[in-house]
Structure 1
Amino acid sequence: MNNEWFEKDFYKILGVSKDASASDIKKAYRKLARDHHPDAKPGDKAAEEKFKGISEAYSVLSNPEKRKEYDEQRAMFSSGGGFPRAGSSGGFGFPGGTTSGGFDFSDLLGGVFGGGTRTRSAPARRGADVETEATLSFEDAISGVTVPLRTTSDEPCATCHGTGAKAGTVPRVCAHCEGSGMQTSASGGLFAMTEPCDVCRGRGLVVDDPCTTCHGSGRAASSRTMQVRIPAGVKDGQRIRLKGKGAKGENGGPNGDLYVSVHVESHQMFGRKGDNLTITVPVAFDEAALGAEISVPTLNGAPVRLKVPAGTPNGRTFRARGKGAPRADGTKADLLITVDVLVPSPLSDDERAAVEALRAARDGDDPRAAMLGGGA
């Protein structure tokens, strides 16, 4: 609950007595809301502010729990007692030295006191990062895919809702760090060091009667399955960060992140070199020698036509632009096509005759002559 509420007289704003019934409060609100609604007085800033105050008063007084809390705190505030503070006995300083008893834990530690005393409630803590792995086919890694991932992380205990305390009890604010979760110690020189509190281990709270599930830590292992989108073009061994998909935070702290290590299965035809895809295609001896136009498969697409020039040597690589993996900027890399010139074996009679004719046509030309020249 907001501290500013205790400084306002909601009963006076609605024009009802402090012992007014719920029905009387509703009637008063309806009449005032009708008279001061912005639609009834367009452009009237004063009426708009009046309407906001009326709505705020009704939101508190129409709720039995909020009204009870408001009445109790108004009584304390008006008597000069100020807002409640953490006492050394472990309870919160309500009249008579009693503890809160009936308040919800989240209100007790934060909402009741508002921003002015936030350091006396449990500090917000970021959730832990979670690591997991995913194995993808080569095709899914290139095109992107949504996969179900089951993760186990340390999250607020479902039994005590993260308080660490047994049902019916609440933790007390740590007297050592006054609920901040941190302590300052001198280093023996000019500097002081701030570190997690030794007593509450950084929680800002001390549990006297611990929850039997989490043993007072407020955290417990939790498993969940989520659908995770793996972006197109992911590489084998790449680590993907998914912000806010890790373990849940504590006391309003942000969630941790999820890190997914990706393993990509190999493909029977295609490989990868950076963002470029690679493929080796067989080319007949005559196609390499005389030139040809051949069809080359692509991944998840129609084949491309490749012109092999006459005299193409074995191992030459050609480039088919835009047929590779997606890049981070949205463009596509290339497909690198390497030719593998095949030597026919065994030779048919006609093939042997043709090769012998080729040998005769070379007229004893030695392709290694340049290597051996002067070395004999």
Structure 2
Amino acid sequence: MARLKDYYAILGVKRDATEQEIKAAYRQLAKEYHPDVNKDYEDLFKEINEAYSVLSDKDKRSEYDSLLINPDENKIKNFTEYIQEFINSIFNGEKEQKPKKGEDIKLKIFLTLEEAYLGTSKEVEYEKWIPCPDCNAKGYIGEPDKVLCEACEGTGKRVSGIFSFPRPCSVCRGRGYIIKNACSTCLGRKRIAKKSKIIVQIPPQTNDGDILKVIGKGHAGFGNKEPGDLYLRVFIQDHSVYKKVGNDIHVELPISYADAVLGANIKFRWIDGKDIDVFIQPGAECGSQKVLPGLGFQNGNLIFHIKIQIPKQLSKKQQKLIEELRKLEHEEDNKSIFSIVKNMLQK
């Protein structure tokens, strides 16, 4: 995936634009730059449609906004400036390519809670531009066979229609000439798309939203320039047992009625496979919490939520003991009531 385009700039709207504003901007631009009006702006029309398809969808827009690592870098002044930059990029990209570092790639990576907490090695598969192996990233085979482009008379530009600024020649793509022996593999683009697999090391305590940078694993550069970098935004998946809230980890801890009354030291198997001691104070109530500092993410807390388990079935011996306990409790209650009444009568 190439460097994120600024869809807000393409439509000429602000970051906080409403759905109505986005829709109105799209309709106006689609009307002005439709290929039926001017075929030379077919690529621009595609970008306008692409931008609208993302920003008009709430989920896609939210996902797109979350991938903007440095939003301030994508600020725009007006749509006219974007159009001019678009035109310039076409001219610069289609002429003799100057040495240029490859574009960065931004992707998502999904981790389990255990992978993020303990660290792991993760295989990442993605598509990127690599130097064309058949033409050695030259764009042609052998020596370039150049002929003057008759459509633009070698200028690389054409001015016509309702637009005041020049457009790249659609025949020679702004070069001013045509290469007759262009590489059939990359079609003269010097790069081809290819799937790539790499192993990424995930450090322990990697948090949700962290950005992992893998140097040199982006798109290939031009003219022996270094490739771009790969950026991975971390998303930690929900867990069936643990719940991550900020840097804290919450977990339910079932205990018996006896342990709740008498207190207990319970062994709990932690994420790293080791047992930790959880001391329950006598008289623990259902829903109370036991906090172990420093065991969450980045020195957060491990928080146990006490849940007292009431058995649905009892053996005869258990039932007899419980009945004796209830009888004893009633006797103690009666003694307390008798004492209160006695004290009142003596006054």
Which TM class, normalised by the smaller chain length? 0.5 to 0.7
Which residue does the alignment assign to 1:230? 202
Deviations 1:294-337 (A, max 9, x none): 22222215322222122211122211122223x3xxxx322111
Aligned residue for 2:318, secondary structure, equals: helix
Q: 1:202 to 1:244 in 2, by over 3 A?
A: farther
2-structure distance, mates of 1:172, 1:321: 73
2:183 aligned to 183, 206, 211, which one? 211
Please give the per-residue CA displacement for 1:90-114, whole angstroms capped at 9, x wherever unaligned. Answer: xxxxxxxxxxxxxxxxxxxxxxxxx
- Asked if structure 2 preserves the Cα contact closer than 8 Å seen for 1:241 and 1:258, the reply is yes
Distance 1:277 1:205, change over 3 A: farther
What pairs up with 1:85-234 in 2 under 5 angstroms?
A: 122-130=97-105, 134=109, 136-169=111-144, 201=173, 207-234=179-206
1:288 partner SS: helix
Q: Identity percentage over the alignment?
A: 26
8 Å CA contact 1:122–1:173 kept in 2: the answer is no
Verify the 8 A CA contact 1:184 1:193 in the aligned structure 2. Answer: no
Quote how far apart the aligned CAs of 1:216 are. Answer: 1.8
The structure having more radius of gyration, on CA atoms, is 1
- Contiguous gaps of at least 5 residues in structure 1: 1-119, 366-376
Counterparts in 2 of 1:360 and 1:195: CA distance versus 1, 3 Å:
farther
Q: Residues 251 and 277 of structure 1: is their aligned pair in 2 closer, same or farther, counting only changes over 3 Å?
A: same
2:341 corresponds in structure 1 to none
Equivalent of 2:216 in 216, 233, 244:
244
> Of Structure 1 and Structure 2, which has the larger fraction of its residues in helix?
2
Report which structure shows greater RCO (CA 8 Å, sep ≥6).
Answer: 2
Q: Which residue of 2 aligns with 1:369?
A: none
Amino acid at match of 1:356: E
1:281 to 243, 253, 258: 253
- C-alpha deviations, 1:257-316, integer Å up to 9, x for none? 324355656655434222222322211112112222222222215322222122211122
Q: Where do 5+ consecutive residues of structure 2 fail to align? A: 1-94, 334-347
1:356 lines up with 2:328 in the alignment: no
- Write the distance in 1 (CA, Å) between the matches of 2:278 and 2:212: 36
Q: CA deviation at 1:172?
A: 8.4
Distance in 2 separating the partners of 1:333 and 1:230: 19
Q: Which amino acid aligns with 1:334?
A: N
Q: Specify the SS of the correspondent of 1:345.
A: coil
Question: Cα RMSD between the aligned structures?
Answer: 4.2
* Maintained 8 Å contact 1:145/1:231: yes
How far, CA to CA, are the matches of 2:193 and 2:215 in structure 1?
A: 20
- The residue that corresponds to 1:318 in the other structure is 290
CA distance in 2, matches of 1:122, 1:172: 18
Offset, 1:362: 5.1
Q: What is the total number of aligned residue pairs between the two structures?
A: 237
Cα distance in 2 for partners of 1:195, 1:294 equals 75
2:230 is equivalent to residue 258 of structure 1: yes
Contact 2:144-2:179 at 8 Å conserved across structures: no
The Cα shift of 1:360 comes to 4.2
Distance 2:209 2:192 in 1: 30
* Alignment CA distance shift 1:223-1:288 (3 Å): same
Is this contact kept in 2: 1:124–1:250, CA < 8 A?
Answer: yes
Does the CA contact (< 8 Å) of 2:120 and 2:202 recur in 1? yes
